[in-house]
Amino acid sequence: MDEIIVFLASKLHVVIVVTAIVIFLLSSRQKRVTLALTAITALPLSYLLGKLANFFYYTERPFSELGIAPLVPHIADNGFPSEHTLYAMVIAITVFFVNKKWGLLLMILAILVGVGRVLAYVHNPIDIIGAVLVASVAVWGTVFVLQRINIQYKIKP
């Protein structure tokens, strides 16, 4: 069981990234532009929003709080929000805007990344919830702004 948890917590996000790259490469030119513009904007925005949230909200890592070893190596710093879940969810929501089926699958996988991080004792559930919320704000905010400035951006949320 530990091997599954370690995979979810430390490797599944790579599957999400590779899947998104394949979707990007197989998409039409317009969808590639949409994916690229959204990702190039939402990923740095999610990083900044995540750091801001980290500054205002603190959660102790479960392994530190419980005095046990985590299943994946990590330092005992602020766990809010989960960066693995945050970036996986940004990618998943971005894909969702151009391909609902694959985007939904990637969102489920991003949630599983978060579940793995909790089961590996490196995050609390609130860290995962926070990551999903920050990712949602970053991507939806990006889509809203890109639609308003209307630069070859043709999707409807």
For 14-48, write each residue's pLDDT tens digit: 999 999 999 999 999 989 999 999 999 999 999 99
User: 125-140: per-residue pLDDT in tens?
Assistant: 999 999 999 999 999 9
| Structure-block tokens of residue 32 | 């590639």
Give the pLDDT band of residue 147 (cuts 50, 70, 90). confident
Range of the domain at 36: 2-149
Supply the pTM of this predicted model: 0.92
Within a domain: residue 81? Answer: yes
Q: What angle do CA 115, 117, 123 make, to 5 degrees?
A: 110
Region 65-81: what's the mean pLDDT? 92
What's the number of domains the chain is made of?
Answer: 1
Distance from C-alpha of 16 to C-alpha of 53, rounded to nearest angstrom:
24
Within a domain: residue 50? Answer: yes
Region 54-65: what's the mean pLDDT? 95
Give the pLDDT band of residue 157 (cuts 50, 70, 90). very low
Query: 76 or 117: whose pLDDT is higher?
Result: 117
Within a domain: residue 157? Answer: no
